[in-house]
Amino acid sequence: MRHAVSLRIGPIGFRIGSDWRAPIDQLRSLYRDYPQPYDEVADYTVRLFARRRWRRWIRPSVEIGGDYMLPEAAPLPLRQGLLAAEMAMNLQMALGARRYLLLHASAVERDGRAVLMTGISGAGKSTLATLLAARGWRFMGDEFALLDPQTGLVHAFPRLISLKNEAIAAAQAAWPTARMGPLLASTPKGDIRHMVPDARAIAAMDVPATPALLLFPRYGFAAAVRSVPPAEAFVRMTQASTNYVALGEPGFAALTGLIAGIPSIAIDYPDSDSAVAQVEALCAAR
Amino acid sequence: MDDAAPVTFRADPADARRAAPLDAFTAVYHRRSGITHLLTEPAPQILAILSEHSLSLDALLTRLSQDYDLADPMRDALAARLDELVVAGLVTAS
Amino acid sequence: MSDDTRPDDDQPIGADPVASRRRVLALGAVGAAAVVSIRPALAQTAGSVLNCDIPVPDPGRAGSFIDAQGKVVPSGTKGAFPGATRPFKGEEVKRTLATGAQLPGTDAERSRAYVNYIRRLQRGQGGFTCFASLQMPRG
Amino acid sequence: MTDPVTRTPASARFLARALADPSIVTRLDPAGWSAVLTMARAEQLIGTLATRLDGLPMPGAVAAILADARAAAEQGRRAALWEAEMARRALAPLGCPVVVLKGTAFVAAGLMAGQGRSIGDLDILVPRGALDAAETALLAAGWEWVKPDPYDDAYYRRWMHELPPLIHRERDRMIDVHHSILPLTARITPDPVALIADSVPLGNGLSVLSPNGMIVHAAAHLFADGDLAGGLRNLWDVRCLIAEFGTQGLADDADRHGLRIEVERAVRLVECLFGERPATGIDRLFVRRMTARDGWGRPTRPATRLAFYIRSHWLRMPPAMLARHLWAKWRKARARV
C-alpha cells in the first residue's frame, strides 16, 4: 500500500498499510520505541483504505480491513485514523489469535506476578492499570492479556493505552511526562486520547509473568470485595475471551488451570484511589 | 421410526471428555465437538452411567436409584435432563 | 475425571446412618437446566474496539416493516413501523439497552419495536456481530 | 503476470505455485513471506498452505504463524464433522441418504483436499422427495430460518437448488440443504438422482459423492454458478481430487450432468495454475480472475471481477427472470429510502 509501517507489540507483529499518510505518521511517532516483528514477518496485516478512490480526498473515510474483517465495521473520518488503526489491530487479535488464549483484561506485574483485571468497558480496566503502573507496577497491557496454554504464563501486550473521556485527565495526572497522541474528539466512543506506555513497560514487554490474581473490577459502587465462585469466574472468562472456543482443548486446559490456580475476586470501587488501595491490599495479603 | 422397543440412551466413553470440577458445576470439554459444557447434578452422574451402559429411561431411573438416594425420583425430570444431554450432543438416543 | 462421580462410601452426609452411606442426588425440576453450553464470545471484545453499525432491518430485508415484537413484516403492515432511515451505531444501541433511552430519531413505541428486532438478530443477519459485541457479561 | 522467481509476489499466481511446488518458498524474503501469508488468508488457503509447507526450512515467525493455521484448521475440521454428525442424528429417522458436500465431505472421507482446508457452512444433499421431511426434522432439532423474508423465501423454494439457509440456535452454525448442485433456473441441469446413486457411504450414516461426482460438483460450482470468489481454493480441491483419484470416467460423468465444458475447463486450469500448462484463449481470463489478489490481500483487477460478477447472474437465470429478480431487489432497496 502507499503508506506502511511494521511494529511489534509484545509477541505480536503487525504490518499496517494505509491509503493516507497521516495515520501511519502518527503510528510511527507513537510506536517509535517498539521493535520490528520477529524475522520481519508480521503476524497480521492491517489495511486502512478508502472504499472508493475519490473518498481518499473528499470527506475522506477510513475503512477498517486486514487479514480478519467484520462486515459491519463502520468507517471513521480521517482525523480519527489513529483510532481506526488501533481498532483494526485489535480486531486482528480478537478474530485471528490462536497461539494464546486472549483474555479481555488489563494486566500489571510486580516481582514476576501478574494481576489481571477484566470486565466490561467502562469498568476502569485501562485507568486502573495506568494508575498501578504509576505506583511502581509494570504495565503489561490495557486491553488483552495473552495466556500461553503451554506454559500458563501471561504475555504482555502493551499497545497504546486508549483513554476515554474523564480517564484522559486522570491518566495524565498520574503520568505527567507520558507521550500522548492527538485528542480525538467526539468519536463513537466519546473523546479518546492514546497514551504511550512508559519506557519500562516497552523495555520489558517480552518478559512474561505468572498469573497471581484475577480481578473483576466494577466502578461506581461503594467499596466492596467478594470472592467469585470458580464456575462463575470460568463462564465470565469464556465470555471475556474472543478465542476461547476457537482454541479448543488447549483453551479449556489453560482457562480451567488459571481459574483453579489463582483467586478470582470482584471489587467494587467508588473512585480510582480506593481501587488502587484495594488491589494493593489484596496483593499484600497474598 | 417409532416402534414398541423403548428408546435407549448412550454416551461416549469417559475418555471422550475432559472434565474440570468447579464448585457445584463441572466444566466438561467434549473432544469430538470441541464444545465446552457446564454441567450440574445430575448430568455428570447420568453421563458416567451412560458411558458404560446403553439404557432406557426407566432402566436409567432404576440404576440411579440403586446408586443414589434420589431426592425427587421423577421420571419427567429425568427425561428433561436426558433431553438436554441429547440436545448438547453428549448423549445419543436410538 | 469428575464424570466418574460414583457414590462415595467415605463421605458421610447428614446424620441418618442409612443416608450417610449413599449420596443424595437431585434430578431437578422439569424446567430447570443442568447443561449449559459455552458459546463463542465472538466479537465481545471486538465490540470494545470496534465502531459498528446495526441496520434495522438488515439490507437483505430492506423496505420491510418492523412490528411491535420486532418481527420483520411486509411493507405497509398495520401497526408496524417502517425501517430506520439510517443504521444505528453500536454505541447508540448499547446506551438504549443499558438505560432504556429511546434510539435516536424514534419515539418510544418505535424504539421498543426496533430494540426487539435487534434482540432477535441471529448470525448471518446484518448487524448481528455488532449486536453480539454489545452483549457484555453482567458485572 | 508474475515471475515465479520473484521475491515479493505481485499476484496470487505465486500462491498457487507454492501450493503445487512448496520448495519455491525458500526463495522468499520477509516481504515476500508477508505477501504470501496475507494472500493465503484472503483466499482462505492459509491452512492448506500451512499443511503443504510443513517441515520446510522457513523463518521462525513464519513457522509459528503456519503452526497456528494448522491448529485452526484442525479445530475447524472438528467443528465441521460435529455439525455433520448432528445433522445425521436429526435426519437419521428419515432413512434417506444424507450426502455431505464440499469441505466437510473432504475431511469426513479423509481426502487430500481436506488437509488444512477452511470449512464454512455445512452443505448436504438429500433426495428432492425427502426435502420437506428434512426441513421438518431440522427445525425440530434446533435449526431455525436465517431470513424470514417472504420474497427471498418464495424465490428459494421455487428456483434454488437448496432450502433457504438454516442456522442452529445453540451452535450458531449454518446448514444448506441441497436437492441438486445447481439452481433450477440455470441452463445446465445436473442429475442429482445419479449423484446420490453413485455416492459412497462412509459407514457412519453419512455419504460423500463419488470422486468424479466431487469433481463435477466443484466444476459446476466454479464455472456454472458463482462469480469465482474463493475460486483458487475450489480449484485446489479439484487439483487434489485429480491427484488422488485420477480422471478415469470423468468425461462420461461430466457428460451425464451436462457439465463437460466446465469439467474440462477445471482440468485445464488445474494444469495452468498448479502445473506448467500455459493458459490460452478465454482460460487466460479465468486465470486472471482467480489470481486477482495483491500482497496486501486486496482484491485487484476490478474490471475482470465485475465481468465475472455479471456473468454469475447471467448463468443463474434466464434473462426475463433476471430482470424480474433485479426489479424486486431494486424496489426493496427503493422502499428503504
* Dist. CA D213–CA D254, nearest whole Å: 8
Q: Please name every residue paired with A195 in a beta bridge, in sequence order, or none if there are none.
A: A161, A180
Residue D164 lies in a domain: yes
- For A206-250, write each residue's pLDDT tens digit: 999 999 999 999 888 888 999 998 988 998 899 889 899 999 999
Which residues of A touch chain B, with CB atoms under 8 Å apart? 229-231, 234-235, 238, 244-245, 248-249, 252-253, 256, 259-260
Q: How far is CA B73 from its chain centroid? A: 15
- For C65-86, write each residue's pLDDT tens digit: 999 888 888 888 999 999 998 8
List all chains that touch chain D, counting a touch as 3 or more CB pairs closer than 8 Å.
A, B, C
Please state which of the ranges A45-49, A87-91, A121-125, D60-64 shows the lowest mean pLDDT: A121-125
Q: In which band, very low, low, confident or very high, does the pLDDT at D320 lie, cut at 50, 70 and 90? A: low
Q: Reduce the DSSP state of residue D207 to 3 states and report it.
A: strand
Domain boundaries, chain C: 44-134
Residue D95: list chain B partners with CB under 8 A.
Answer: 1
CATH class label, B9-93: alpha beta
Top residue of A2, A18, A24, A41 to mutate, by most chain D CBs within 10 Å, is A41
Q: How far is CA B82 from its chain centroid? A: 6
* Dist. CA D110–CA D112, nearest whole Å: 7
What single-letter amino acid sits at B65? S
**Hey, what long-range contacts does D333-336 have (CB within 8 A, 24 or more apart)?**
D333/C62, D333/C63, D334/C63, D335/C62, D335/C63, D335/C75, D336/C62, D336/C63, D336/C83
Which has more pLDDT, A265 or C8?
A265
CA distances from A29 to A5, A184, A205, A254, D97 (A): 11, 16, 19, 36, 62
> What's the grid cell of residue C54?
446495526
Domain boundaries, chain A: 3-96, 101-284
Burial label for D256, CB within 10 Å (0-12, 13-18, 19+), is: middle
Give ipTM to 2 decimals: 0.83
Residue C67: list chain D partners with CB under 8 A.
Answer: none
Q: Please name every residue paired with B28 in a beta bridge, in sequence order, or none if there are none.
A: B19, B37
Whether residues D334 and C63 touch (CB distance < 8 A) is answered with: yes
List all chains that touch chain C, counting a touch as 3 or more CB pairs closer than 8 Å.
A, B, D
Top residue of A61, A72, A126 to mutate, by most chain C CBs within 10 Å, is A72
Which residues of D touch chain C, with CB atoms under 8 Å apart? 144, 146-150, 152, 165, 167, 169-172, 174, 331-336
Whether residues C72 and D149 touch (CB distance < 8 A) is answered with: yes
Q: Rounded mean pLDDT of chain C?
A: 71
Whether residues B87 and D142 touch (CB distance < 8 A) is answered with: yes
What single-letter amino acid sits at A265? I
Range of the domain at D161: 13-336
DSSP string spanning D230-266? Answer: THHHHHHHHHHHHHHH--TTHHHHHHHTT-HHHHHHH
Whether residues B33 and D142 touch (CB distance < 8 A) is answered with: no
Residue D172: list chain C partners with CB under 8 A.
Answer: 39-40, 122-123
CATH of the domain at D30: 3.30.460.40
CA distances from A252 to D55, D139, D242 (A): 28, 31, 39
- For A76-103, write each residue's pLDDT tens digit: 999 999 999 999 999 899 889 999 999 9
Shortest alpha-carbon distance between residue C31 and chain D (Å) = 17
DSSP string spanning A27-95? Answer: HHHHTTTS-PPGGG--SEEEEEE-SSGGGGTSS-EEEEEESS--TTBPPEEGGGHHHHHHHHHHHHHHH
CA distances from B29 to A57, A236, B32, C36, D77 (A): 52, 17, 9, 12, 17
Q: In which band, very low, low, confident or very high, does the pLDDT at C92 lie, cut at 50, 70 and 90? A: confident
Q: Residue holding cell 519500562?
A: A200
Q: Rounded mean pLDDT of chain D?
A: 89
Shortest alpha-carbon distance between residue A93 and chain D (Å) = 13
CB neighbourhood size of A170 (10 A)? 18
Q: Between B22, B34, B35, which is nearest A230 by CB? A: B22
Sheet (strand A190-195) strand order: A161-164, A190-195, A184-187
Q: Reduce the DSSP state of residue D211 to 3 states and report it.
A: helix
Q: Between C1, C26, C31, which is nearest B72 by CB? A: C26
Q: Please check whether residue C64 touches D, CB under 8 A.
A: yes
Residue positions counted in chain C: 139
Q: Residue holding cell 492514546?
A: A194
- What is this structure's pTM? 0.86
**What is the model's pLDDT at position C87?**
85
Q: In which band, very low, low, confident or very high, does the pLDDT at D229 lie, cut at 50, 70 and 90? A: confident
Percent of chain A with pLDDT over 90: 74
Residue of B nearest to A248 (CA): B34
Q: Between B34, B89, B92, which is nearest D75 by CB? A: B34
Instruction: Indicate if the alpha-carbon torsion angle D316, D319, D325, D330 is positive or negative.
Output: positive
Select from D144, D118, D147, D121 the least CA-distant residue to D237.
D118
Query: What is the pLDDT averaged over residues B11-32?
Result: 94
**Residue D307 pLDDT more than 90?**
no
Whether residues B73 and C27 touch (CB distance < 8 A) is answered with: yes
Q: Between A45, A49, A65, which is nearest D34 by CB? A: A45
